Amino acid sequence: MNCIAFALPFDFQQPVWLWLVLLVPALIVASLRSLAGLDPVRRILAIVARSLLVILIACCLAGIERVRRNDDLTVLFLMDRSYSVQAMQQYQEEYIHDAAETMRSEDRLGLIDFARNAYLQQPPMRGGYFIKPGRLPVMPDTERTDVASAVRLAMAMFPHDTGKRLVLMSDGNDNMGDVLTEARRAQADRIPIDVVPLRYEHRNEVYFERMIAPTHAEPGEQVTLRMVVGTYRRASGTITIYHNDRLVTMSPEQSHVELAPGSNTLLVKLVVDTPGVQTYKAFFQPDDDSMDAIPLNNTAGAFSFVTGSNAALLITADPQYDRPLSDALRSEKVDVVMKAASELGEFDLLQMQNYSTIILANIPAQTFTDQQLQNLATYVKDMGGGLIMLGGHESFGAGGWIGSPVEEIMPVSFEIKHKRVIPRGALVLIMHSCEVDRGNFWAKEMAKKSVDTISSQDYFGMLAYSYSPGGANWEVPLGLNTNKAAVKAKIDRMSNGDMPDFGSTMQMAYDELTVGLGKDAAQKHVILLSDGDAAAPWPKLVDDYVAAKITVSTIGIGWGQHVMEGTLMNIANQTGGKYYPARNPKQLPQIFVKESQVVRRPLIVDEPFQPRVLHASSELLGGIEAGREALPQLGGLVLTSVKPSPNVLTPIVRMTDDGDDPVLAHWQYELGKTVAFTSGYWPVWGDAWTKWPKFAKFWAQIVRWTMRQEAPANFDTRTTNDGKRGRVTVDALDKDARFLNNLQMRTNLIGPDGKPTPLRFNQTGPGHYEAEFDVEKSGDYLAAVQVFDHGKASGTIRTGLTVPFSPEYRDLIPNEALLRQVADITGGRWLDVPAPQADVFSHDLPPSEAKRAAWDWVLAWLLLPAFLLDVSVRRLASWLALSIAVEVVLLVVLLFGMGLRYSPWWGVLGAFALAELVGWTIRFRSIGPLFEWMTGTVTALAHAGDRSAASLEKLKDTRERVRDEFATEKGDRGKRVADETSPIPLAQAKRRFDAGDEQAVRPVGDLRDALGGAKAAEPPAKPSKPARPPADTDAGEDDVTSRLLRAKKRAKKDMDENK
Amino acid sequence: MSRVVCQVARCFARAKTRGSVVLAIASILGCEPPPITDSGVIGVFGGVGLGPGQFSYPRAITAETSGSVFVVDKNGRVQRFSPDGVFESYWRMPETEHGKPVGLKVHPDGRVFVADTHYNRVMIFDRDGKLLGSFGSEGFGDGQFQLPTDVAFDAQGFIYVSEYYANDRITKWSPDLRFVAAFGETEIEGRRLSRPTGLVVDTEQTLWVADACNHRLVRFSLDGKVLNTFGRFGQEPGEMRYPYDISVSPDNTLLVCEYEGNRLQWFSKDGRSLRIWGHAGRAPGELFAPWGASYGPQGRVYVVDSLNSRVQVIRP
């Protein structure tokens, strides 16, 4: 159908159906016969309608499409803004500005810039390039280049009805994605990618290619660090090495190196004498800085796992409080390291690998960042570590752990679900619009954090000045925090307004917390988030808060630069809350978690109780003989609920009338084990326990149970990194050095962002296994590989690698080969010339075609009207009705055919006129004679007066004539007249003044003749009907049967006569 | 006939029906689609956006008696419009990271004084946006500001600046921008000023202050004596909900813009409510958190309808 497509503005998806049009001639022939009885006009209309129906049905079945073609052009520029070409941004912007000078007015220009991600900076627009030089927003994350994502985004941004061209400005050093695949897609869509190569050359450059350390080592072993340093020119400099963040002492001869052009291998030997993770970092400092253009690639890192590490880390809020526990563990030969929370430092996943289990002793959740919380969960789930949480005033639900990733891995839920009387808290947030950048965004994020932090049994509400007609408004009405997702959705929709004063919202919060739904809450707390520029609340309201024991904490959002702190500090001080100057958005989560947990204070039970053993058979109580003697008393605990899982065991509980509260609970969660001990807090709650003779044994058993059960396999493990992909290779041998085949290896790879990614190992040779993974981010990649031999766990391998810097910093020359490949695949041009000569807006592309399915439109606005027309032509007896039907159908087709919304007024008027013309043409055939008769009647009536006057004159003349005749006869035959009373018979006299018999049978209209008026027109001819014999005319009152019988007789007679 | 169709079309237009056949017929017959208006509204301009003539939460307005209208929005742009709402030019405030201005006034000599609220200063521009100078700094002392909100001028050229937060006062400055006096710092009828956000000097050379969070107007003599106050919180005539701006009409009555009341209210100088206009809503003739109103040329009133991101022009 291309021949049609080139000629007409439509096309067909399945043109084979158009053969149905051949039925039209046959249909016309058949219709001429079957519709022979119809009036010729009706017959033609019906045939036209039927033919149209067949044609339109064929079009619909063939999948008719509207085709719009034009030779307008859209050019999208792809600007590389990665680190390797950041010095060339100005050149690229000028290039686009120059190119824009050559575009036609109908052409469109757009810009997408990219590094790791691609961003649309100017959508395809007519008129030019509108971004002034140097005004592009800062590009985040320039450490990577993903050309493929930019091409993908560009292909989605093209208008469908113009020619399309991409102009890629890049150095071709693509270190993410797969640009060639995208290029092939562009080629399939007939989008050429012209390439403007960005050229540079870092000849004076030294960089680390890699650093290799053995994955595993034994304590006291000497390990060899192998460093490969690359350089283009001869260079010299100093190597510095850090082992576990401590500087390695090296002699000047050893540290000072001379580098030859190419790759240089440097070896350094170190002795590892402590178990655990050994980290190595190396730095190169050139003697001459001019020999090194990119300093960011002068570093490398690696790490080894040294076996023998089985320590427990006890994180304490106060070392004095937890000294009894650490001493007890050490007395049982458990290697325990006690650190205050403030001493943890970075505490990333790699550091956690130094410990087999981690004990959190009364540590609140806000001690850790979100990333660290996630790492703790990953440490247990994917790395097989153990975690023990001890109770206290800052622990479990009271410590803001509700909703954290750690709650998921613990055997108890931090929410209370098993109590009849649930201690509730009530938290109200008051949100004020913040003037600083992204202030309102962070306010919302933190509000959502609060929702997650508090229990579903607590009340939560949020007030804002959101411009309801009343000003302050409950954006989230105070209610139980059961549907957290819905509440967070409301927070997202909220619009923060400028609050004139704090009083109005604080008054609403007060009312709801004292006489409203929150009146029965055990703990009532308000968090006011603002930049402080609203007026202070009235003094009486503050007094009311104090009297009702409602605390208000205030958070000043201004990133340390602009917070009107005075009012906020006063409110917090007067009501017993705290004021937090949020100097950094990163601080906000901790603040909100801490403040939100205020309402969880009712979870703390500060009363002594007798713990009871529920499951004496638990392996944690082995040897304690806890069933035979009473456990020592505990002074309190934090309320939690046992998770409804068969894996959870609760050996020790507090028994109450309102259900059992877990004291000790444990389970295995994926690779790791976790224990919850909801009491503790030794000097306050557990003094009796610390004096219990079995205290040390009890805790040593628990800690040992949670420790990572590692059985290192006899495997040689190596990791490598080629910039885009990391690779783990494992050579598995048994103790007799025979290959181990058909092993199953399962693990999650933990990237620098802490997110686990499943790692799949494939056997590629005898005893040789490989797995690959993306290394998109710089940092440490870790995996604890579980090895299964015929379904049976046979060991765990810990491995990983360090990506010290992005491959972006390794790009010393452009990758023109890749760029040329992109241009060749897509048929693009190599634009190695200035923009004015490049002619990127040349109109040498085939015209674009935009196709749109039109069968539904044909069905609705053409096919159905044609069908109605066909029916009405045959069924509507009245010509008037038929003409109206034709008129309406025509009007509908015309108006909607040309699109009422887009048609000009004269188009609408024209459609009306045409439809009326056709309608009246049909109608005139029917009522034309009537019209003529009416015209005649009116004319006649107009002359009726003249005719009356003339008739009167005529009558007068007649009377005079008769009178004269009478007078003559009287004179001649006077006597005879005197004898006769009536000389003329009455009937004769009447007739002389009547119209006469002949005239009397005429229609009333013929009175004009009698009166001597104008001659009336003949009655209109009746519509042609089969002529009837005169005999029929007097059969009007006969019934139908007798008429039929007579007709039959007549027909029979006719037939006989014909014979 | 055409009049009938036009009337019908008008009904459709009021019902905000677009693209109807009636409107098409009306246009064929030459009827102009009637503007959707409410009592007194003679124009609406603006709309949400960052383009020329658009606003992102406009918060202050000032109109010259015979000239342009200036609007500042929360994007930190001061835009100049013709009296008919045609965009003329704009400029950006030099710094906006801490916050954006909430008040501005045109001096009789054409200079534009912008209360740069979150930078605790008043900036002076010419009508094309050229920075001419500034005065004030952050602090509590003489010549210092805590969140200045509005500016007013008297017949002698003295400048009055209102501020809130810790200061909640009015400061008076000489025409050559030197600090003269501060007043309003003591209690007035039992309450200190609380967020004075609007200032105007009337024809009798007295200073009117919109004392927003006390929901009242305070009248000062130009040397700082309190002459009278009126108003209280409420929705009834004579009551106010957060009066944010005040302006003087040509017939010397006071026009008060109520931020939370979503209306304008005219007062006589003795506190009688003369007229109320507007209510909460999105349609023309309705207001959504209006921050300011100003009398302009030909007795027009320009209302900055903040949350609707537009300016409504009314002829009261």
Chain segment A751-773, per-residue pLDDT in tens:
887 788 888 899 999 989 999 88
Say if B213 is an interface residue toward chain A (CB within 8 Å).
Answer: yes
**φ and ψ at A386, to 5 degrees?**
-110, 155
pLDDT score recorded for residue A434: 67
Nearest to B165 among A469, A533, A909 (CB): A533
Longest dimension (CA), chain B: 73
AA identity, residue A637: L
* Min distance A564 CA to chain B CA atoms (Å): 8
Residues B87 and B113 in one domain: yes
Say if B97 is an interface residue toward chain A (CB within 8 Å).
Answer: yes
Q: Cβ contacts (< 8 Å) between B195 and chain A: which residues? A: 500-501, 534-535
Domain that holds residue B9: 1-36
pLDDT tens figures, A849-861? 777 788 887 887 7
* Min distance B213 CA to chain A CA atoms (Å): 7
Residues B222 and B120 in one domain: yes
**What is the residue-wise DSSP string for A974-988?**
HHHHHH-S-SS-HHH
What does DSSP assign to residue A326? H
Rounded alpha-carbon distances, angstroms, from residue A397 to A240, A421, A516, A594: 47, 17, 25, 11
Angle, vertex CA A891, rays to CA A886 and CA A895, nearest 5: 155
Asked if B28's CB is within 8 angstroms of A532's CB, the reply is no
pLDDT tens figures, A372-421? 999 999 999 888 899 999 999 889 988 888 888 999 999 999 888 766 66
Burial class (CB in 10 A: 0-12, 13-18, 19+), A927: middle
Q: Cβ contacts (< 8 Å) between A498 and chain B: which residues? A: 59, 289
CB A53 within 8 A of CB A870: yes
Asked if B24's CB is within 8 angstroms of A500's CB, the reply is no
Average pLDDT value over all residues in chain A: 82
Hey, what are B311's tokens? 């300016």
Tokens 């509400």 belong to which residue? A461
Asked if A909's CB is within 8 angstroms of B99's CB, the reply is no
Residues B107 and B144 in one domain: yes
Tokens 């010339």 belong to which residue? A833
Residues B27 and B116 in one domain: no
Residues B63 and B156 in one domain: yes
CATH, residue B225? 2.120.10.30
Residues B163 and B120 in one domain: yes
Ramachandran sector of residue B18 (left: φ over 0; alpha: ψ -120 to 50; beta: rest): beta
Q: What is the mean pLDDT of residues A728-739?
A: 84
pLDDT score recorded for residue A1006: 41
* Min distance B120 CA to chain A CA atoms (Å): 11
Provide, rounded to the nearest whole percent, the portion of chain A with pLDDT above 70: 85
Asked if B24's CB is within 8 angstroms of A905's CB, the reply is yes
Nearest to A535 among B28, B194, B288 (CB): B194
Tally of domains within chain B: 2
pLDDT in 10s for each residue of chain B, 316 residues = 445 555 554 544 444 444 444 444 544 554 444 433 346 888 899 988 877 888 988 999 999 876 899 999 988 899 999 998 988 888 989 888 778 899 999 999 999 999 999 899 999 999 888 999 999 998 888 999 988 999 999 999 999 999 988 788 999 999 999 999 999 999 999 888 999 999 999 999 999 999 999 999 999 999 999 999 999 999 899 999 999 999 999 888 999 999 989 999 999 999 999 999 998 888 888 998 899 999 988 889 999 999 899 999 998 7
Q: What does pTM read for this prediction?
A: 0.56
d(CA A221, CA A492): 56
Residues B158 and B240 in one domain: yes
d(CA A493, CA B16): 27
Asked if B195's CB is within 8 angstroms of A500's CB, the reply is yes
Residues B56 and B105 in one domain: yes
pLDDT score recorded for residue A560: 53
Least trusted range by pLDDT, from A275-279, A539-543, A823-827: A275-279
Rg over CA atoms, chain B: 20
User: B interface mutation test: which of A435, A473, A898 has the most B CBs within 10 A?
Assistant: A435
**φ and ψ at B43, to 5 degrees?**
180, 150
Q: Cβ contacts (< 8 Å) between B139 and chain A: which residues? A: none
Nearest to B195 among A501, A900, A908 (CB): A501
Residues B55 and B204 in one domain: yes
Q: Cβ contacts (< 8 Å) between B280 and chain A: which residues? A: 469
Closest CA to A281 of A244, A242, A314: A242
Residues B131 and B264 in one domain: yes
Closest CA to B221 of B257, B177, B172, B262: B172
What is the number of CB-based contacts under 8 A between chain A and chain B?
A: 73
Dihedral sign for Cα atoms in the order A16, A22, A24, A27: negative
Nearest to A435 among B19, B27, B99 (CB): B99
- The three-class DSSP label of residue A582 is strand
Which residue in chain B has the smallest CA separation from A899?
Answer: B19
Cβ count within 10 A of residue B279 = 13
Within A401-476, where are the H helices? 405-409, 439-453
Residues B128 and B236 in one domain: yes
Nearest to B213 among A470, A531, A535 (CB): A535
Rg over CA atoms, chain A: 50
Question: What's chain A's length in residues?
Answer: 1059
Supply the ipTM of this predicted assembly.
0.74
Cβ count within 10 A of residue A517 = 15
Burial class (CB in 10 A: 0-12, 13-18, 19+), A228: middle
Rounded alpha-carbon distances, angstroms, from residue A1056 to A65, A294, A444, A1052, B260: 64, 120, 104, 6, 104
Asked if A531's CB is within 8 angstroms of B99's CB, the reply is yes
* Min distance B99 CA to chain A CA atoms (Å): 5
At residue A977, does pLDDT exceed 80? no
**φ and ψ at A16, to 5 degrees?**
-60, -30
What 3 state SS string does A329-381 have? HHHCCCCEEEEEHHHCCCCCHHHHCCEEEEEEECCCHHHCCHHHHHHHHHHHH
At residue A98, does pLDDT exceed 50? yes
Which residue in chain B has the smallest CA separation from A563?
Answer: B98
Residues B125 and B154 in one domain: yes
Asked if B213's CB is within 8 angstroms of A500's CB, the reply is yes
